[in-house]
Amino acid sequence: MFEKNLLAGKRILVTGGATGLGKSMGKRFLELGASLYICGRREEVLAEACDELRKSTGGTVKTFSCDVRNNQRVNTMIDAIWQDGPLDGLVNNAAGNFLCRTEELSIGAFEAVIGIVLMGTIHCTMACGKQWIKEKHKASVLSITTTYAHWGSPYVVPSSVAKAGVLNMTRSLAVEWGKYGIRFNAIAPGPVPTEGAFSRLMPVKSLEEIAKKKNPLGRFGTHEELADLAAFVLSDRSGYVNGEQIVMDGGEQLKGASEFAHMGDMLTEEQWQMMKPKKKE
Ligand code: HXC
Ligand code: NAP
């Protein structure tokens, strides 16, 4: 889909880049010529992903064991990355989430998810942003949100409020740091199968069929679809896109908001015919 050198010379950090969507985005960036940095909490998972990504793309990958909730650890990681030179792209992708009735959540549960999703994003963005501004280095920040960052969602309230904060940060800094040549955008995917998300959010197989059915396209998104969109958003080819949240959900949220969306499944052929104007005699 893209020129092979779309991201040549770009140095990109993907948080939570050793699994799921983060790994798929990283693979695409490498295929398009970028050098990749990934971080996560589990060293063995990072090492395995690094090996796989290097073998499949031949690209340069470095890993950092770093809990993004810890600002000191994030600063240390960013300083270490800067030893190679400035980053050109940051993908705030690391996340935590689970389904739970809100009245049963402990404050610790809120802190865990908000700490990863919102504070983790703020830690990484601030650490990079200060360097970029100081060095007058242009950059692109992409945060992976969700459709409910805008609308809210029951049963995932810690994630929902945290993603809303990330979306707000994206829009706020797009304006404030635009003058430094730092662009901020978000991608809000609908469901895309990953072990991390589906094991926590779709614990029963039948839920997957229901989720597909409520989507206008009748399917989940794919890793390739997200990775290509992310590559475009990070690249200079999207240079005038700033402060945007691009929804990639097959039209799912619009279907949920559409007054008559369910009619197609509800009305019989006979009822559709009944509503047509009667032929004049
Ligand atoms: C209620 C829970 C819980 C659950 C943990 N907690 N799991 N509460 N229901 N299922 C509570 C614990 O009791 C504890 O509370 C606090 O949360 C912290 O739990 P820990 O296990 O100590 O946390 P930690 O080891 O740091 O793990 C963080 C985590 C875990 C978020 C809980 O799930 C994780 O590591 N997730 C990372 C990967 C992930 O979630 N990926 C999915 C992203 S999907 P106390 O009170 O004891 O402190 C996504 C997509 C959404 O975001 C959109 C889909 C369409
Ligand atoms: P995933 O594989 O579970 O990815 C989450 C990643 O975050 C893991 O690699 C995890 O690694 C890392 N992480 C978690 N806590 C961290 C911490 N404190 N510090 C550093 N890294 C941490 O799930 P995914 O589905 O690919 O999700 C990726 C992104 O897409 C998330 O932002 C998610 O909200 C978003 N999203 C996913 C879907 C979907 O359907 N899959 C839909 C909408 C949005 P460690 O556990 O090793 O730290």
Answer yes or no: is 68 within a domain: yes
Question: How confident is the model over 116-144, as a mean pLDDT?
Answer: 99
Secondary structure of the chain as H, E, C letters: CCCCCCCCCCEEEEECCCCHHHHHHHHHHHHCCCEEEEEECCHHHHHHHHHHHHHHHCCCEEEEECCCCCHHHHHHHHHHHHCCCCCCEEEECCCCCCCCCHHHCCHHHHHHHHHHHHHHHHHHHHHHHHHHHHHCCCEEEEEECCCHHHHCCCCCHHHHHHHHHHHHHHHHHHHHCHHHCEEEEEEEECCCCCHHHHHHHCCCHHHHHHHHHCCCCCCCCCHHHHHHHHHHHHCHHHCCCCCCEEEECCCHHHHHHCCCCCHHHHCCHHHHHHHCCCCCC
Kindly name the residue from 148, 155, 180, 240 that is annotated as catalytic. 148
**Which of the listed residues 98, 195, 226 should we mutate to test ligand 1's pocket, taking the one with most ligand atoms within 8 A of CB?**
98
Task: Please work out whether the CB of residue 49 comes within 6 Å of at least one atom of ligand 2.
Answer: no
Answer yes or no: is 281 within a domain: no
Task: Please work out whether the CB of residue 22 comes within 6 Å of at least one atom of ligand 1.
Answer: no
Determine whether 148 is an active site residue.
yes
- Looking at residue 96, its pLDDT comes to 98
- pTM here is 0.98
Question: pLDDT tens digits for 14-29?
Answer: 999 999 999 999 999 9
33 pLDDT tier (thresholds 50, 70, 90): very high
Answer yes or no: is 1 within a domain: no
Question: How confident is the model over 24-48, as a mean pLDDT?
Answer: 98
Question: How confident is the model over 221-237, as a mean pLDDT?
Answer: 98
CA 256 to ligand 1 center in whole angstroms: 27
Task: Please work out whether the CB of residue 248 comes within 6 Å of at least one atom of ligand 1.
Answer: no
pLDDT at 168 over 90: yes
CA 236 to ligand 1 center in whole angstroms: 35
- Looking at residue 46, its pLDDT comes to 98
Task: Look up the CATH number of the domain holding residue 211.
Answer: 3.40.50.720
pLDDT at 281 over 80: no
125 pLDDT tier (thresholds 50, 70, 90): very high
Question: How confident is the model over 45-57, as a mean pLDDT?
Answer: 98
- Looking at residue 241, its pLDDT comes to 98
Count of domains observed in the chain:
1
- Looking at residue 1, its pLDDT comes to 80
Answer yes or no: is 280 within a domain: no
What is d(CA 253, CA 219) in angstroms, rounded to the nearest whole number?
14
- Looking at residue 249, its pLDDT comes to 98
Task: Please work out whether the CB of residue 211 comes within 6 Å of at least one atom of ligand 1.
Answer: no
- Looking at residue 110, its pLDDT comes to 98
Ligand 2, atom 46, lies closest to the CA of 41
- Looking at residue 226, its pLDDT comes to 98
**What residue numbers bound the domain in which 182 lies?**
11-274
Cα pseudo-dihedral 29, 32, 34, 39, rounded to 10: 20
CA 163 to ligand 2 center in whole angstroms: 12
Answer yes or no: is 279 within a domain: no
Question: How confident is the model over 160-186, as a mean pLDDT?
Answer: 98
Question: How confident is the model over 261-279, as a mean pLDDT?
Answer: 92
- Looking at residue 251, its pLDDT comes to 97
Answer yes or no: is 3 within a domain: no
CA 281 to ligand 1 center in whole angstroms: 67
Question: How confident is the model over 254-267, as a mean pLDDT?
Answer: 92
Answer yes or no: is 2 within a domain: no
113 pLDDT tier (thresholds 50, 70, 90): very high
Question: pLDDT tens digits for 63-102?
Answer: 999 999 999 999 999 999 999 999 999 999 999 999 999 9
Task: Please work out whether the CB of residue 10 comes within 6 Å of at least one atom of ligand 2.
Answer: no
The token duo for 40 is 């996560």
Nearest ligand to the CA of 148 is 1
Answer yes or no: is 189 within a domain: yes
Tell me the pLDDT of the chain averaged across its residues: 97
Distant-in-sequence, close-in-space partners of 87: CB < 8 Å, separation ≥ 6: 11, 12, 13, 37, 78, 81, 128, 139
Question: How confident is the model over 195-204, as a mean pLDDT?
Answer: 95
- Looking at residue 279, its pLDDT comes to 84
- Looking at residue 203, its pLDDT comes to 87
